[in-house]
Amino acid sequence: MNLPTMDRRVAVKKLLDARDGALVVTGLGSPSYDVHAAGDRNDNYYLWGAMGGAALIGLGLAQTQPSKRVMVITGDGEQLMAFGSLATISVARPKNLDLIVLDNQHFGETGMQSSHTGKGIGFDKVAAACGFSETAELRSLEEVDTLCEKLRRPADGPRLFVLKITAENLPRSLPPRDAVEVKNRFRAHLGFATC
């Protein structure tokens, strides 16, 4: 039986429309395209590489900007490479870090090979076992609307939400390739000097 999935671009647009000042970090591949497609902004930090880095960049950012909420938007493949990060983040216990895993159960960027998440590995369950303060698996845009409301409210610790999305390759919406420029404009957004 095929369980329902949702449109990734619509889901990400909903999350970003409700970001309410949140700083956003994106994992390489399609999540970066999804966030860029919703509108390029200085308070987005996009990855084009460094697979497995998104959640941990989010942790470093959350620890240094405790008054702001940090939202990491990444894919199942990228998060699989950072499996241990769920332990590190849980132990660090930031109250302002939310991980959104866009889960199409495939490595979409490399030819749609099946990933672990279609074979019994649920990041919501893994994160719950690690001690995240809240986790869930969502399968509909209506649930995303509810999540947007939830994310506005304070958390007791890190949260992780799996959004089951349709496995499809949408037209790419490419963020700037110049990672130095993206870094500098992000820091400038927070009022820090660039060089």
- Nearest distance from C-beta of residue 8 to other proteins, angstroms: 24
Q: For residue 7, which of 109, 136, 149, 139 has the smallest C-alpha distance?
A: 139
Amino acid at 50: A
Nearest CA-CA partner of 11 in 140, 128, 177: 140
DSSP 55: H
Residue 71, interface with other proteins (CB under 8 A)?
Answer: no
Contact range with other proteins by CB under 8 A, out of 13-21, 83-91, 110-118, 135-143 = 83-91
β-bridge partners, 137: 162
Which of 17, 20, 39, 88: binder of other proteins (CB under 8 A)?
88
A 10 A CB-CB count for 32 gives: 26
10 Å CB burial of residue 194 (0-12, 13-18, 19+) is: exposed
Confirm or reject binding of residue 35 to other proteins (CB under 8 A).
Answer: no
Q: Is 192 in the site for other proteins (CB under 8 A)?
A: yes
60 binds other proteins (CB under 8 A): yes
Window of 8-16, 43-51, 115-123, 164-172 that interacts with other proteins by CB under 8 A: 43-51
Site string for other proteins, 150-189 (x = CB under 8 A): -----------------------------xx-xx--xx--
How many other C-beta atoms are found inside a 10 Å radius of the C-beta of residue 191?
Answer: 6
Q: Is 49 in the site for other proteins (CB under 8 A)?
A: yes
Select from 6, 11, 12, 61 the one that contacts other proteins (CB under 8 A): 61
How many residues appear in the chain? 195
Indicate whether 82 belongs to the interface with other proteins (CB under 8 A).
yes
Q: Which CB sits closer to other proteins, 109 or 137?
A: 109
- CA nearest neighbour of 16 among 46, 55, 47: 46
